[in-house]
Amino acid sequence: MQNAYEAYELMLRLNPASVDDLLKAHKLMMNGLVSENGRFRSGGVGVFDGEVLIHMAPPAEFVPEHIQNLFAWYQKSELHPLIKSAIFHYEFEFIHPFADGNGRMGRMWHSLLLGKWKEMFFWLPIEELIQSRQKEYYDALGAADKQADSAGFVELILEIIRDSLTEITVIGRSTDQDSDQVTDQDKTPIERILSALGDETLSATDLMERLGLSHKPTFRKNYLNPALEQKLIERTIPNKPNSKNQKYRKHQNLEKEC
C-alpha cells in the first residue's frame, strides 16, 4: 500500500508515452515485493483461477517489442481517448509484461492516459472506479481473451466511467445551493426512491430505470438499502430477499401515516 501511494504520487510527473517511465513506476510500485521490480519479466507467466489456466501470456522475449508497439499504437491511434485507453488497458493485461503487479500497473497507466487527456481522471482513478465491480472486470478480461475481441471489456470500462461521472453529477446537483427551487436532483437518495416508487409496486430494475441509474451497487448502497433499513419501503417477498420475483413498495405503516 505504501508503494502504491508513492507510485500514484509520482503519477503527475510521468509521461504516459514513455516505456522508461512505465518501468520506473513499476520499480516503485513493486519495491521489496518482487526481485524483478522495474524490469520486464524474464520468464513465462500465466493467469490462473485456482488450478485452471485462464490466460497464458506471450513469451518473455517478445514483451519489450509488444510494449513498444502498444505505446506507439496509442500515440498514432485516432480513436477517442476513452476508447483507445480501454483498449490499451486490455492489451497491456494480455501482454502481462511483469512478473507481478500487472493489474495494478495496467489500471494505473489507464488512469495516467486519461488524466493527461482530462485532469479529473487523476482524482477519479480507474483503480477506484472498478473497485466495486472487480468480478465483472476480471470476467470481461477473460471473455475478451476467449473471443479474441476486447469490445466487451471496453464497453464495461465505459459503463463504469459513465456511472461514476453520473453519480458525481447527481451529488453535485444535490449540494448546489444557488437555487431555491427544489428539483428531483436536489432531493436525497431516499426522497428520490420514494418519489420514483409512488403508490406502485416495482422491481429493482424498474426503480433503477426511473431513477436514471445503471450501476446496481450504487443503487443498493445509496438508495435501496437505506430505505429498507429505515422501514420506508418493504419487500413483497420478505422471506426471500434475493428472489428473482422480488418487488418493492412503500412500507404499509408509512402509507397509513400518509
pTM: 0.64
Please identify, in words, the CATH class of the domain defined by 187-257: mainly alpha
Domain boundaries of the chain, sorted by first residue: 2-167, 187-257
The residue behind cell 437555487 is 179
Q: What is the pLDDT along the chain (258 residues), one digit of tens a residue?
A: 666 666 667 777 899 999 999 999 999 888 888 888 899 999 988 776 667 766 788 999 999 999 999 999 999 999 999 999 999 999 999 999 999 999 889 999 999 999 999 988 887 778 878 877 888 888 898 889 888 899 999 999 999 888 878 776 654 554 444 444 445 555 788 888 999 999 999 999 999 889 887 767 678 888 898 899 999 999 999 999 888 899 999 987 765 544
- The answer to whether 214 touches 163, Cβ cutoff 8 Å, is yes
Q: CB–CB of 194/232 below 8 Å?
A: yes
CB contact at 8 A, 17 and 112: no
Q: Which three cell numbers stand for residue 73?
A: 499504437
CATH domain 2-167 topology: Fic-like fold (1.10.3290)
Listed in sequence order, the residues at least 6 apart from 223 whose beta carbon sits closer than 8 Å to its beta carbon are: 189, 190, 192, 193, 207, 211, 213
**Fold identical between 2-167 and 187-257?**
no
